[in-house]
Structure formats: structure tokens, C-alpha cells
Amino acid sequence: MTRLKTSLIALTFFIGFFVHADEGMWFLMFIERLNQRDMEKMGLQLTADEIYSINHSSLKDAVVQFNGGCTAEIISKDGLILTNHHCGFGAIAELSTPANDYLTNGWWASKREDEMKPKSLYVRFFVRMDDVSKRILDKVNGTMTESEREKIIKEEIAAIEKENSENGKYTVSVRSFFQGNEYYYFVYQDYKDVRLVGTPPNSIGKFGGDTDNWEWPRHTGDFSMFRVYADSLGNPAEFSSTNVPLQPKHHLPVNIKGVQEGDFAMILGYPGRTNRWLPASGINQNVKFAYPAWVEASKTAMDAMKIHMAKDPATRLKYDSKYASIANYWKNRAGMIEALTKFKTAKSKAKNEQAFNNWANEPTHKEKYGKVVATINSFYDATNDKSRHDNYLSILFRSSAFATISRSLGPQIQAYERAKEEDKAIALQTLKIAVTDFYASISLQAEKDILAAGLSLYLAKANFPVVPSIELALMAVKNDMNLFIDNLFKNSVFETYEKLLAYLDNSNGMAISDDPLMSFSTNMIAHLNQRTDASFAQQNEFLRAYRLLVEGLRESGLATIEYPDANSTLRLTYGKVSALPKDKRNDAVTNYYTTLQGAINKYKPNDAEFDLPKRLMELNDAKDFGEYADKNGYMPVNFLTNNDITGGNSGSPVLNGKGELIGLAFDGNIEAMAGDVIFDDLLQKTINVDIRYVLFIIDKYAGAKHIVDEMTIIR
Ligand code: ARG
């Protein structure tokens, strides 16, 4: 039996390996064992040790997590970093004013001293990782309740984090994989002095806007550049004019020889979240309840924001970044609903779960696994309506700054209120900075409208018990939403910057928790997080069942994949440069690349999404591409690979077999939006900026050749 099982696992593994060479987000520490041979066959010329080593410099030292949500890479010995334009967008917006609008006009530092420091921006270097599954799981057993189990694991995690942090030098994070069946720790080092080096204008960096977002063919120069600074010893330091550019352990050489279909391509980066192990009933919940609410609430917020953004440039700069990130996932989730429905993903998953359930109910497995599938299904049945409700509310929180005021400014104000008399002056100083930043980032009228629109939608569509205090307050004003909102602000110290400052200087004995806007926000968040004993117990039952499902799928050989879901930890994916086959939605181009001429074919003068700078078109007319043109004469813009990435990989380096930079990953394609749940061998692609386009824009378009000269170029 055991032998049969082992060979069954080996067989699945073997088949899986050849069918899905491009599928998988792999751990760097296992490459030698799991992927090396396959990668070599496809074109890798590095050893596993040259990709990930804890003893000497390796590729991993040139890949950083960018500001918590994206990826970036080091491309010079002076700490120059490259990431996407949409990853740097928030920082660029923050540094912009209507008079110096770098989003609209682009900007390049002509010397180091000009490089600009946004308020908070950090990059995270990966030092090492290790497996602590045994250490943690030896401490727990199957008879414990989930709460007991969680408590013990938490304690062990805290100990591991402490042991490896070297007294705060490193950030250590222990994460669970395979739904709690494995644990690894990750050691990181954060650098906080990160400065803007340059950015193309929106008309290049965000060319095509939301219309082209998630689409192929694509013509976007989605890149921006920053630099990491350190103290004179190379250690992380707060911003200071005496800081110097970091001398990294490794920087990526840049290869401008060009890419061909079939070329090996690998990507290292920080994929945020996939749900490849999600059960069928979970997919159904997302498709029918959660995502439709997400999509509708996002659209409502976007419409409200857009009206105010169109009114004046200062408001546009305030909301550009928030708008773009809501719009990004609005289109993504709509695409997921469509793709998951079209490909009947839940149905094929359910079939596999049926096979698992048969295995699970064989006499030898029944005790441990017999109820797993039933428990999971009844959990989703019971939470479908709540998931819709929760999504309406969560998107409201994402779009309205005042809905979450109890989470943002609230705790800081309360800390100030609680501070000892002698500490108050200092506390007030830092608090005032936060308050100033908050009011600088919003427009009051826009916020009122965003909140009114989101709240109206929530009350009308949640189809579930809504926040009771809001229902009552609205009844008192005969359900007049605008009156309700006006009163809420009028009676609150948060109504204006001046009012809040006056309150902080003299509260007249009122506690901030009694403020109507503050308690409105507190009540909403509490309502979202509310759990009854029964729902808490059911949630725990579900977590246990999901963990057992994954364990059982792996044990039975019925698992369809061999790698853990993405969770913002460093992964490698490998495959090749590859074209998207023609299908009904995408019949324009079957190429694996697009060209500058293609961008110009989309050009619409003065359009918010498809305008192009004159200078770029002149360069194209003159075929003045410098050394960056393809040998066939065209200027490449974007290309496709069949790598397996997701959100968070944005800005990741695309590398050839020698570990040289050939592109910059920035998007996925709408045909494969089911990809976070199931990898599609035929349709799933990564959309990349060709590195030659990046260099062409910097050198020929922006005239910032000194920045290209910093790099190690392979010609
Ligand atoms: N789809 C891209 C990603 O998730 C983001 C692109 C941002 N551009 C935009 N038009 N909203 O990485």
C-alpha cells in the first residue's frame, strides 16, 4: 500500500512536471531538487546556487519587495532599482503638485542630489529562508481544538522570529504553506531611504489606461526608477543627506540582444495571493456572491471619485493612485467571474473533490478525512450571503477615507489622549503630522460623495443584516442619505482640518470615541468583524477541514499541483517567451511582442488613456532608436512569456538563462483571469516590458543617458 502510494505520488509528480513546465511558483531553496534539471533542459545556464545562496552573492540579492506590494530589482552597483510605473505611482503622485506634475510630464534626476525622497517607501531584501514545519507541527496534534493549536503555533512562531532577528537587525516572518501543513521562516532586511530617480509620463508608463489594463496586445512602458540609500557602512538608515547609494551584493546585468519566441525566461518575485487549492464550493462563493459585490461596489466608488477628479488637477492627484488600484481589481474580478464561469472551473474541481471524497471514505482514511468535503461545503453554504455583505463593506472601506478613520487616525488620537501630561507635547507634534497628511490626501466633498454612494449601495444590496446603528440613524432622517452624511460631518470634529486641530488643542473633556464620525467608523468595522460563538466554531471547523483536504489530496496523490499558494513570499517561475494563441476575444495579433508603431496606431490625441508624447512619435518617424531597436528594425515595447505570476509580481525581473535582465513583468491577460485559481496552459501569459524599450525611453526619449551608463549592459 505504502509503496503503491509513493509510486502514485511519483507518477503524478512526473506527469505534472512535463505537462506544466511553466506552471508553478517555486521556493528558491528547493530549486535544485525540484526544478533544476527541467530548467536546464529549457535553457538555464546557472546553478541553483547562483540563484539562491546563503553563503555568497546570488540572484536573490538583486530582487527586492517594493513597498510591501510589488517587486523590484537592483540594476546597478549604486543601488539603482527598476520597478513598474504602477508600483511607483503612489510615490510619484505624492511628490507631484499641479505645478510640477511628474505623473503627467515624467521626470528624470539629472544628478544624484536631485533624486527625491517620498514620505514612506521601503524596499525589503531577502536574506534567507528555512523549513520549520517539523519544529512547529511536532508541538501540536489532531486532538487539539483549532484555538489551542493556533495558540501553540503562535508561541513557537514568536520564538523563531526572536531567535533569527539578531536584535532587530532583521525582520523575520514565519508563514504557513499548504493551508497549515508546512511552515517556513523568512529573514528580511528593510531599507527605508528610497528615492525617485525617474519616471516616464503617464502617456508612456500608463499608456492604454484602464481600457488596455489586463489586455493583450499591449503597448505600455510600465516602469519607473528609484535608488536605495544606506548609511556609509551600507546599513539601513532613516533618510539623511549624508546617506549614500547602497552598494548591493549583486546587481542584474541588462541584456539588450532581444528576445525570440521559445527563449528561456524566468521570473523572481513576490506573488501576493493565489487560490489554486481552493475547493469548488469556495470558487462558487466567489463567482456568485463575493466578486459580484466587489465589482459593483468598486464601480460605484470609481464613478463617485471620477466626478471629483475631473473637476480639478489637485483632486486628481489626490485620488489617482486609489482610483487606479480599485479600477485594477474591478476589472480583474469581473474577468475572473467570466473566466471561471466559462471554463467551469468549479465543476472540474468538484470532480476531483468527489474522487478525493471516495478515497477519504475508504475504511483506512475515514476517521481522519471522512467529513472533510462535507464540512467545507456546509461552511461555504452557510457563509455565501455574508461574503456578499462583507465585500460591499470592504470595498467601501477601501474607497472611503472616513469609513476607516477609526483605524487610521483614531488610534493615534487615542494614544495622544492617554499620554501622560509630560509626553503630550511630543505626542501632539507627531499626531499633527499625520493629521496634516490625512487632510492633504483627501477632498472633503469627494469623500462625502464616495461615502454616500457606497453606503447607499451597501444598504440596498447587502441582503444581510446591516450595521444596526446606521439603519437607525437613517430612519431618523427619513432615509435621506445626503442629510445623514451632512449631519454626520457637521457634528464631527473630523469635518475639517481646522476643526480637528482645534479639538486636539482643546478637547473640552470630550473623548474622540464619542465623536459621531469616529463611532460610525468603529461600528462599521466591528460589524464586519463580528463573530458569534457558532460562526467562530464553524470557521474553525472549516480551517481544520481545509488543512486536512490539502494534506489528504497530497497523501492520496489526487493533488493537481505540487507547489504552495502564493502568499507574498519570494518565488521563482520559469518558462519561455511565448505567443498567445488566437481566440475569439483576442484576434488582433498572435505575436509574442508589440512595437512602438503599434502604440502609435492606437494614438488618440489628448485622450486620457491613448495620448502619446510628440517626441516619441518623432523618434519613431525618424527610426531614431539608438542601439535599442530589434535587429529586424522595429522598436519593441512589450512581450509575452508563459510564466506563472500574479499581483505582487508587478515589477519583477524577467531573466534569461544567464540571469540577465531582458524585461520587466507587469500584467496578466484577461483571457486567463481564472489563473489565480487554476493555471491555464494554453492561455495564461505574463505581459512584460521589453528592457530595450525601458532603455530607449530613458536614453533617447528622456535624454537621461547617464542612468543607462550606470548599468552593466550586455550587447
Ligand atoms: N494590471 C496590473 C497589475 O495588476 C496593474 C496595471 C495598472 N494600470 C492601470 N491602468 N490601472 O499588476
For residue 191, the cross-strand partners are 123
Is the CB of 214 inside a 6 Å radius of any atom of ligand 1? yes
Is the CB of 206 inside a 6 Å radius of any atom of ligand 1? yes
Q: How far apart are CA 349 and CA 536, in angstroms?
A: 27
Q: In this structure, are strands 593-595 and 636-641 parallel, antiparallel, or unpaired?
A: antiparallel
For residue 238, the cross-strand partners are none
**227 close to 80: Cβ distance less than 8 angstroms:** yes
Q: What is the average pLDDT value for the chain, to the nearest integer?
A: 94
Nearest-CA residue for ligand 1 atom 3 is 667
Is the CB of 219 inside a 6 Å radius of any atom of ligand 1? no
| CA–centroid distance, residue 673 to ligand 1 (Å) | 13
Nearest-CA residue for ligand 1 atom 8 is 213
Best residue for ligand 1 mutational test, from 84, 213, 214 (most atoms within 8 Å of Cβ): 213
Return the higher-pLDDT residue of 13 and 536.
536
Closest ligand 1 atom, residue 89 Cα: 7
Is the CB of 609 inside a 6 Å radius of any atom of ligand 1? no
CA distances in angstroms from 548 to 291, 373, 513, 714, listed in the order given: 26, 10, 43, 50
pLDDT of residue 7: 40
Is the CB of 108 inside a 6 Å radius of any atom of ligand 1? no
Complete DSSP assignment for 279-299: -HHHHHHIIIIIHHHHHHHHH
- The three cell numbers of residue 448 are 462625502
Nearest-CA residue for ligand 1 atom 2 is 667
pLDDT of residue 590: 58
Nearest-CA residue for ligand 1 atom 7 is 86
Q: How far apart are CA 402 and CA 516, in angstroms?
A: 11
- Domains identified in the chain and CATH numbers: 3-122+192-274+566-714 (2.40.10.120), 280-533 (no CATH)
28-76 pLDDT, tens digit each: 999 999 999 999 999 999 999 999 999 999 999 999 999 999 999 999 9
Angle between helices 291-311 and 313-342 (to 10 degrees): 160
pLDDT of residue 681: 87
Active site residue 86: yes
Element (H, E) at 3: helix 2-19
Task: Give mean pLDDT, residues 193-208.
Answer: 98
Q: How far apart are CA 670 and CA 462, in angstroms?
A: 28
Which of the following is catalytic: 298, 400, 492, 650?
650
Closest ligand 1 atom, residue 324 Cα: 11
Q: How far apart are CA 459 and CA 454, in angstroms?
A: 9
Task: Give mean pLDDT, residues 468-486.
Answer: 96
Is the CB of 449 inside a 6 Å radius of any atom of ligand 1? no
Residue 460 class from Cβ within 10 Å (0-12 exposed, 13-18 middle, 19+ buried)?
exposed
pLDDT of residue 227: 98
Closest by alpha carbon to 80, among 199, 248, 255, 221?
A: 248
**193 close to 170: Cβ distance less than 8 angstroms:** no
74-109 pLDDT, tens digit each: 999 999 999 999 999 999 999 999 999 999 999 999
Is the CB of 324 inside a 6 Å radius of any atom of ligand 1? yes
Q: How far apart are CA 157 and CA 25, in angstroms?
A: 24
332-375 pLDDT, tens digit each: 999 999 999 999 999 999 999 999 999 999 999 999 999 999 99
Instruction: Indicate the residue type of 119.
Output: K
CA distances in angstroms from 545 to 387, 532, 549, listed in the order given: 19, 20, 6
pLDDT of residue 682: 86
Residue 419 class from Cβ within 10 Å (0-12 exposed, 13-18 middle, 19+ buried)?
middle
**pLDDT band per the 50, 70, 90 thresholds, residue 20:** low
598-637 pLDDT, tens digit each: 999 999 999 999 999 999 999 999 999 999 999 999 999 9
Quote the percentage of the chain above a pLDDT of 70: 96
Q: How far apart are CA 316 and CA 324, in angstroms?
A: 11
| CA–centroid distance, residue 345 to ligand 1 (Å) | 24
pLDDT of 589 over the 90 cut: no
Stated pTM of the model:
0.94
The owner of cell 483576442 is 586
Is the CB of 695 inside a 6 Å radius of any atom of ligand 1? no
pLDDT of 135 over the 80 cut: yes
**pLDDT band per the 50, 70, 90 thresholds, residue 581:** confident
Backbone torsions φ then ψ of 644, nearest 5 degrees:
-105, 95
| Cα angle 336, 342, 344; round to 5 | 95
Helix, strand or coil, per DSSP, at residue 615: helix
Residues near 54 by Cβ (< 8 Å), separated by ≥ 6? 127, 128
Closest by alpha carbon to 71, among 569, 708, 564?
A: 569
Count of CB atoms within 10 A of residue 633's CB? Answer: 9
Active site residue 365: no
**pLDDT band per the 50, 70, 90 thresholds, residue 19:** very low
Q: How far apart are CA 178 and CA 550, in angstroms?
A: 6
pLDDT of residue 87: 98
Which of the following is catalytic: 222, 320, 390, 676?
222
| CA–centroid distance, residue 210 to ligand 1 (Å) | 8
SS3 of 432-448: HHHHHHHHHCCCHHHHH
Q: How far apart are CA 453 and CA 466, in angstroms?
A: 16
pLDDT of residue 14: 41
Residue 370 class from Cβ within 10 Å (0-12 exposed, 13-18 middle, 19+ buried)?
middle
Quote the percentage of the chain above a pLDDT of 90: 93
pLDDT of residue 551: 98
pLDDT of 163 over the 60 cut: yes
The alpha carbons of the chain give a radius of gyration, in whole angstroms, of 26
**pLDDT band per the 50, 70, 90 thresholds, residue 401:** very high
Active site residue 381: no
pLDDT of 4 over the 60 cut: no
24-33 pLDDT, tens digit each: 999 999 999 9
Is the CB of 327 inside a 6 Å radius of any atom of ligand 1? yes
pLDDT of 469 over the 80 cut: yes
